[in-house]
Amino acid sequence: MIELKSAKAVEKMREAGRLAAATLEMIQPHVQPGVSTERLNQLCHDFLIEHKAIPAPLNYRGFPKSICTSINEVVCHGIPSEAQILAEGDIINVDVTAILDGYHGDTSCMFCVGEVSKPARDLVEATKQALYAGIRVCAVGARIGDIGHAIQSLVEPMGYSVVRDFTGHGIGRRFHEDPQILHYGKKGVGPRMREGMTFTIEPMINLGTWRVEVMEDNWTAVTLDRKLSAQFEHTILITAEGYEILTPSSLF
Ligand code: MF3
Ligand code: CO
Ligand code: CO
């Protein structure tokens, strides 16, 4: 069942979304060689608490930290750690989900640590374009499957692959709710979009195979071939005019 949000709920989703986006803006200058992912976690945690929000990942199904930090071949759900130090040339996704007044805002983006190789920069740029290709098809009456079709048909001709094992999701009072948003697939399939729907689009795009495996910690998902992966995420509202990005930031 896909819940349609009231005007009041939408206003709260906007606030939560803006705060999640502001957290990414806050962390940007700290993403530097020599910094640990645990330091990024602490800064984001404290920023959210100071703004009267709760970091949704903390203790979510046993997740031990307040953000996800996914470096290089890590596809998603990387766990921040004191022992994990950013190095020149790394690409990292920081994924922030804020709960503010009971509503969730979920957004993530890639950061390049110092100078990054051309293949890595190109992958990051293509993944950002994939997110916006998915967003642009959103409108009342369009089908949820149109999103994945737009993403897949953009990146596969470029030689990249689309991760299958993780999806976007409806979002609201719950972190993950209906509908499930595939980042690949056919046009014209799935539920019709309606005014008041809120969901994330968060394509994970790989340099090599789309296949992934989850590490021993039961969270960290990595590419099977250990080649690079990138991801961007926005929370979207379907409006009478088309869509609204609920997690707007100056970063992407
Ligand atoms: N923020 C992630 C998403 O985009 C989910 C993280 S779940 C966690 O859906 F438990 F790892 F935090
Ligand atoms: Co999400
Ligand atoms: Co997220």
Question: What is the spatial distance between Cα 95 and Cα 187, in angstroms, rounded to a whole number?
Answer: 28
Ligand 1, atom 4: closest residue by C-alpha: 106
Q: Which numbered atom of ligand 1 lies nearest the CA of 166?
A: 9
Distance of alpha carbon 68 from alpha carbon 80, whole angstroms? 7
- Residue 190, Cα to own-chain centre: how many angstroms? 21
How many Å lie between the centroid of ligand 3 and the Cα of residue 95?
A: 5
Q: Is 252 inside any structural domain? A: no
DSSP one-letter string for 68-83: EEEETTEEE-PPP-TT
In angstroms, rounded to a whole number, what is the distance separating the alpha carbons of residues 124 and 142?
27
Q: Give residue 6's pLDDT.
A: 98
> 250 in a domain, yes or no?
no
57 and 79 Cβ atoms separated by less than 8 Å: no
Asked whether the beta carbons of 24 and 250 are under 8 A apart, the reply is no
Contact 127, 205 (CB under 8 A): yes
Residue 203 placed within a domain:
yes
pLDDT tens track, the chain, 252 positions: 999 999 999 999 999 999 999 999 999 999 999 999 999 999 999 999 999 999 999 999 999 999 999 999 999 999 999 999 999 999 999 999 999 999 999 999 999 999 999 999 999 999 999 999 999 999 999 999 999 999 999 999 999 999 999 999 999 999 999 999 999 999 999 999 999 999 999 999 999 999 999 999 999 999 999 999 999 999 999 999 999 999 999 999
DSSP assignment of 3-32 equals PPPPHHHHHHHHHHHHHHHHHHHHHGGG--
The pLDDT of residue 77 is 99
Helical residues (DSSP H) of the chain, grouped into ranges: 7-27, 37-50, 118-136, 145-155
- Give the CATH number of the domain where residue 95 resides: 3.90.230.10
What range defines the domain where residue 222 resides?
7-245
Does residue 241 belong to any structural domain of this protein?
Answer: yes
| H/E segment holding residue 169 | strand 168-170
214 within a domain of the structure (yes/no): yes
Residue 176 has a pLDDT of: 98
Counted domains in the chain: 1
Question: What confidence score (pLDDT) does residue 159 get?
Answer: 98
- Whether ligand 1 lies within 6 angstroms of the CB of 63 is answered as yes
Closest residue by Cα to atom 11, ligand 1, is 77
The predicted pLDDT at position 102 comes to 98
CA of 202 to the centre of ligand 3 (A): 7
Decide if 68 is inside a domain. Answer: yes
Report the nearest atom of ligand 1 relative to the CA of 200. Answer: 4
Query: What contacts 236, CB < 8 A, 6 or more positions away?
Result: 135, 138, 198, 199, 200, 201, 243, 244, 245, 246
Distance CA 92, CA 235 (A): 20
